[in-house]
Structure 1
Amino acid sequence: MLDRFNVTPILRGHWKGLTNGQYLVYRPDFTARAIFLTPLALFGYLLWSGASLKSPAALLTGAALLAGGMLSAFTHLSTLRLKITEWDEGGSAGRFQMERDMLDETAAHLLTGSLACVLDAASLVIGMNASLDKQGHLTGFWAALSAAISSYVLLIFVVILPRLYSAYVEINGVAKNLSGFTRGKARD
């Protein structure tokens, strides 16, 4: 009955997407996964040090804008994924498998990022109503939680951009002299 509130598959897809694609068999990318755990360390440090956020309203605005942007990017990605499936129906099996994998991974990251933005916004709103000091700074647990979630969103955003660009280059057959994945001037 509560299945409609279950976000576990999104989070699992995000975590599974942090794989090393250099091998025929998917292997976890332990470096990426370790980097994605650094917001936990940031949370602990900020909580321990008693740091505060001086302008939580700006962070709230950024989280709201990023949530909308990520959901919008997801809809475009979903349409592109459908188009690739249509292209591949009459062709050789697996012709666009790498591109599909990139889009599937990015979709999970986008949805996880959107979810994180919503959680960030919620923690900021609660914190701004529960633990502002006299100067209007967000302090304590809510400041640490918001900063950690915001840093997680930033990491997701940094991971998404190269994947989106790579999918664009591969799917659209961008010329080597214009592709950012080739060094120097391409000679045909």
Structure 2
Amino acid sequence: MSRFDISAVIRGHWKSLSFGEAGVGKDRLAHVVFLGVPGVLAALTLALRWELNQPAALLTAVALLISGALSVFAQMVGLRARLAERDGEWVERRREGLDETVNHLLAAVLVAIVDAIVLVVGMNVGGTGHVPWYIAWAAIFLTAYLGLLLLVCVPRLYSAYTTTFSVPPHLDGWHSSMR
């Protein structure tokens, strides 16, 4: 049954959210945002009885995201290997950022899988092709959580890229100078 044990991925994702930028202190704001934003949207869905009238488009996006995220993971393994060859505090922070991104990216894959299942079940429950409000709240919660996961990953991926490939300061967004 250990093949189906996803607890390490979930624990790694939550640990990554638990620490501040330098791995020090609690990042409570991250917890509030990651549970609060999807929670508010799910509550609104239940209160206002929102339905998903065109869930096929969302299902397609979620399915594509699963394959894309797994492809990005493969690329990240290569970036991590290249960063392992370098030394320095700056590079170490980028490696940690990349490790954190892996946690979030694989958590995104798991959330997307559950989201896809919820959407398929919802599309088939009523027999009308739309997702009724009593199931739509879960799809909206999961999709919002997924969006936040991807939003967190983008700066980390950019940082790993600029560090690994020594992007010149005048093109590197992490450097504050415009030249």
> Normalising to structure 2: TM-score of the pair?
0.90
- CA offset at residue 184 of structure 1? 4.2
- Structure whose residues are more often strand by fraction: 1
- Of 149, 168, 178, which residue of structure 1 is paired with 2:171? 178
2:40 aligned residue? 41
Distance 2:82 2:74 in 1: 13
- Structure whose residues are more often helix by fraction: 2
- CA offset at residue 140 of structure 1? 2.2
- CA offset at residue 48 of structure 1? 2.4
Identity of aligned residues (%): 36
Distance 2:94 2:178 in 1: 25
| 1:21 partnered with 2:16 | no
Structure 2 alignment gaps of length 5 or more:
none
Q: Which runs of 4+ in 1 moved over 4 A?
A: none
- CA offset at residue 100 of structure 1? 1.4
2:59 aligned residue? 60
Max radius of gyration: which structure? 1
Aligned residues: 177
State the superposition RMSD in angstroms.
Answer: 1.8
Structure-to-structure mapping, 1:1-188, within 5 angstroms: 2-18=1-17, 19-22=19-22, 26-37=24-35, 38-85=37-84, 87-88=85-86, 96-131=91-126, 133=128, 136-186=129-179
Q: Using a 3 Å threshold, how does the CA distance of structure 1 residues 183 and 96 change in structure 2: closer, same or farther?
A: closer
The C-alpha deviation readout for 1:76-131, integer Å capped at 9, x for no partner, is 1012212322x14xx67x67321210111000111000111111100000111113
**Aligned residues of 2:82 and 2:164 also touching (Cα < 8 A):** no
Distance 2:153 2:2 in 1: 27
Structure 1 alignment gaps of length 5 or more:
none
